[in-house]
Amino acid sequence: MLLEAIGVRKLYGTFCALDSVTLAIPAGQFVSIVGPNGAGKTTLVNVLTGAVPPSAGRVRFKGQDVAGVGPVRLARLGMARAFQLVSVFPDLGVGDTIAVAVLNRQRRGARPFASLRADRAVWDEVAALAELFGLGASLGRPARTLAQGDKKLLDVASAFALRPEVILLDEPTSGVSTADKHAIMEVLVQAAARLGIKSIIQVEHDMDIVFGYSDRIVALHQGRVLADGPPAALQADAEVMATVVGRARA
């Protein structure tokens, strides 16, 4: 099993954000985490990616206990999260933004960009990733000048530059037009297949995207797993659909 959450509970003071959440994600699955506001979706992703430790329970990645280890160490073990570098470094060029992730993977983050211009291997990888995500013509552009859909692709490309086995995406299509959402998902899925990503986990509120791309859907409600199964099973459950779809906005 690639990734497991076992009896995970997360408290913020007296508020219980996650309560006895257990799930196991094998290789080969595209999993969507859905639920209404306050269901615990982002908290679950934060726990799975080591950003916050659980109050109780365990998180295992490839059989190793990784609860609370932090996203940097977890990325080096093979699990990465899109981290919105465009927002963090808006003045970096597209190529430099991807290079940040490449250098992080190589543990060379302290080297100045200027000294890397002669590093052909790094920039060949940056160019190849940019091309894969449809950003090849924009390598020299400031990331902040990209259209919103391309900014999303750049964030995902940066996470893919870490060469993870599992990637977690927090609303990869938010703020993007309906037409662009499907284009982003197609690029993402094709890139994952080409780069050997074993599993994708996303938090997503657009149910057309969820049902269109997921192999499995985990529905949360009030910090608990309400349903966990293939899209057809959730669609056939009127109560689950009313809870998730009727009020679902992350």
> Which DSSP string corresponds to 164-228?
-SEEEEE-TTTTS-HHHHHHHHHHHHHHHHHHT--EEEEE---HHHHHHH-SEEEEEETTEEEEE
Q: 3-state class of 125 per DSSP?
A: helix
**pLDDT computed for residue 111 by the predictor:** 54
**pLDDT computed for residue 141 by the predictor:** 93
Q: 3-state class of 162 per DSSP?
A: coil
Q: Which two tokens stand for residue 34?
A: 């859905």
Tens digit of each residue's pLDDT (9 = 90 or more) over 25-48:
999 999 999 999 889 999 999 999
Q: Mean pLDDT of all residues in the chain?
A: 89
Long-range contacts of 67-74 (CB under 8 A, 24+ apart): 72/104, 74/49, 74/50
Tens digit of each residue's pLDDT (9 = 90 or more) over 51-71:
899 999 999 999 999 988 888
**pLDDT computed for residue 248 by the predictor:** 41
CATH number of 1-68+200-250: 3.40.50.300
Running along the chain, 250 residues long, what does each successive block of 10 average in pLDDT? Answer: 96 96 96 93 92 94 91 89 70 89 75 60 92 94 91 91 92 85 92 94 92 96 96 92 67
**pLDDT computed for residue 177 by the predictor:** 85
Q: What ranges do the domains of the chain cover?
A: 1-68+200-250
**pLDDT computed for residue 118 by the predictor:** 58
